[in-house]
Amino acid sequence: TDDPIALGAFHAVQHGITVVCSAGNDGPDPGTVVNAAPWIVTVAASTIDRAFESDVVLGDNTVIKGEGINFANIQKSPVYPIVYGKSAKKKDADVNDSRNCNTNSLDQELVKGKIVVCENLDKTYANEHMDEVKQLGGIGVVLIDYDSKGMASSFGTFPMTVISSEDGAKICRNPVATILRTTSPTKYTPAPIIAYFSSRGPSTIPKNILKPDIAAPGVNILAAWMGNDTAEAPEGKDPPLYNLISGTSMACPHVSGIAATVKSKNPTWSPSAIRSAIMTTANQINNLKAPITTEKGVAATPYDFGAGEVSPTGPLQPGLVYETTAIDYLNFLCHHGYNITTIKTIANAIPDGFTCPKESSIDLISNINYPSIAITNFNEKAGRKVNRTLTNVAGDGNSVYTVTIDSPANLDVKVVPNKLQFTKNGDKSSYEVSFSAANPLKEDVFGSIAWSNGKYKVRSPFAVSSKRDN
């Protein structure tokens, strides 16, 4: 009731408007995802297959890959002396401030005419380090920041680049270097990768809804920009009308555009049908034909990217969709612990005669007709069952879909029935999923359920956790 985005989104969905929101930029810590209401499409951020490289050439001609956008015009030969921020510490300055090249932490005499190697221990914006070195007469900046690898910042005409912590030691062992102008190679591999900053599941409020829903390009996105930002303008040039930005706020518009395209092709579809189409047609494989990974190189889970990387064309015809109804959402509020009076305040209007189910609990949220499945409080002795209903939107007649289950070895997953038959467009068919285990789960586990008729594949991820609610 205190989340204006969730409330506004609920009312929009009631009027047939699909609401798409950013998952947040507080990753990679777990449980940081926001905008997790089940009527919202929640979007994580991923990288693209285009890089913006600004390399460092050391005195021994070793080339270290760096990332950033600069239009610097300094010598390509490594002739500029290097100084580590800590070694250029201003008298009485804090040593960690000088390592970070923070304001008023560096000695101008030790910085002037040199490339300064700075760290980013406090995770400030890269341009703040640049501004400090630039005003002291430094030639350039090499910023050591592992987390920023893959995310390019724009430094204008100032020579600056960002490298990994592993490469930082190599630079500090060399007396001279130079920073090259940016190049932009394409077909970069692997891609996509889930961005380190993208907020992660599991959703803590609410529980038993698997969030985020989907991932989309959100790193190094070139887009229109305000034409009055002089800080982004190269010297002597007008402010640009475009900029390169990273964040889940860049990923969100990709999915919004796809949702709008799906709606234009299928104008009668509900917001939940559009969300289902986006989720069930997502990709889980990168451009190396391997599983999509996180920034650490490990396989991404539904807590990282929901159903996967969005497909721009797949949602136009998904074959089947999960329709999440108004009653589903009202039951969700009941299971979340709200009474009818509060639900009326949230929903503005509810169907005549609606009452909360006699049995309402957080666990039953898993049973609303969502395109993914999340289960907490899993008890291997009792197991858990959930139900789902699919609607045929393929426009064809008689069609049979067969289920394929991808589950971890320590979790037994059964689907009944294992075949669904649809005789006409708009037909509905339901199934039950049973989860059980021989032993307690030591960690959260993931898998998927996919229905296919040879033409369409309708995939739903699941996450099962034995963690207890507080």
Cα–Cα nearest to 435, from 366, 369, 371: 366
Is residue 311 packed enough to be buried (19+ CB in 10 Å), middle (13-18) or exposed (0-12)? middle
Phi-psi region of 452 (alpha: psi -120 to 50; beta: other; left: phi over 0): beta
* Domain co-membership, 62 together with 44: no
* Domain co-membership, 410 together with 431: yes
Per the prediction, the chain carries an average pLDDT of 92
Q: Which residues of the chain have pLDDT under 70?
A: 1, 123-125, 146-150, 227-235, 468-470
Judge whether 346 lies within some domain.
no
* Domain co-membership, 229 together with 157: no
Question: Which pLDDT score, from 0 to 100, does residue 229 have?
Answer: 64
* Domain co-membership, 415 together with 380: yes
* Domain co-membership, 33 together with 61: no
Signed CA dihedral, 433, 439, 441, 447: sign only: negative
Judge whether 270 lies within some domain.
yes
* Domain co-membership, 44 together with 134: no
Which of 317, 332, 352 marks a domain boundary?
Answer: 317
What angle do the packed helices 248-265 and 271-280 form, to 10 degrees? Answer: 110
Six token digits for residue 110: 């030790």
Q: What's the CA gap between 307 and 462, in Å, rounded?
A: 9
Judge whether 358 lies within some domain.
no
Question: Which pLDDT score, from 0 to 100, does residue 470 have?
Answer: 45
Judge whether 66 lies within some domain.
yes
* Domain co-membership, 42 together with 63: no
Judge whether 332 lies within some domain.
no
* Domain co-membership, 31 together with 65: no
pLDDT digits (tens, 9 = 90+) for 290-299: 999 999 899 9
Domain count of the fold of the chain: 3
Which of 317, 350, 384 marks a domain boundary?
Answer: 317
**CATH number, residue 213:** 3.40.50.200
Say which residue the tokens 């320590």 belong to: 410
CB-based contact 125:68 (threshold 8 Å): no
Judge whether 396 lies within some domain.
yes
Phi-psi region of 37 (alpha: psi -120 to 50; beta: other; left: phi over 0): beta
Half-sphere exposure of 430 (CA within 13 A, CB side): 7
Full residue range of the structural domain in which residue 414 is found? 319-324+369-470
Judge whether 353 lies within some domain.
no
Question: Which pLDDT score, from 0 to 100, does residue 435 have?
Answer: 98
| Strands annotated E in 148-241 | 160-163, 176-179, 193-194, 214-217, 221-224
Say which residue the tokens 């990994």 belong to: 164
| Distances 48 to 148, 188, 218, 250, 251 between C-alpha atoms, Å | 15, 8, 8, 12, 11
Judge whether 211 lies within some domain.
yes
CB-based contact 312:356 (threshold 8 Å): no
Prediction pTM value: 0.91
**CATH number, residue 416:** 2.60.40.2310
Contacting residues for 60 by C-beta, under 8 A, at least 6 apart? 174
Question: Which pLDDT score, from 0 to 100, does residue 1 have?
Answer: 62
* Domain co-membership, 266 together with 312: yes
Six token digits for residue 358: 């006699």
Question: Which pLDDT score, from 0 to 100, does residue 233 have?
Answer: 61
**CATH number, residue 75:** 3.50.30.30
Half-sphere exposure of 119 (CA within 13 A, CB side): 19
Which of 179, 208, 243 marks a domain boundary?
Answer: 179
* Domain co-membership, 151 together with 231: no
Phi-psi region of 306 (alpha: psi -120 to 50; beta: other; left: phi over 0): left
* Domain co-membership, 204 together with 309: yes
* Domain co-membership, 221 together with 309: yes
Cα–Cα nearest to 386, from 404, 371, 408: 371
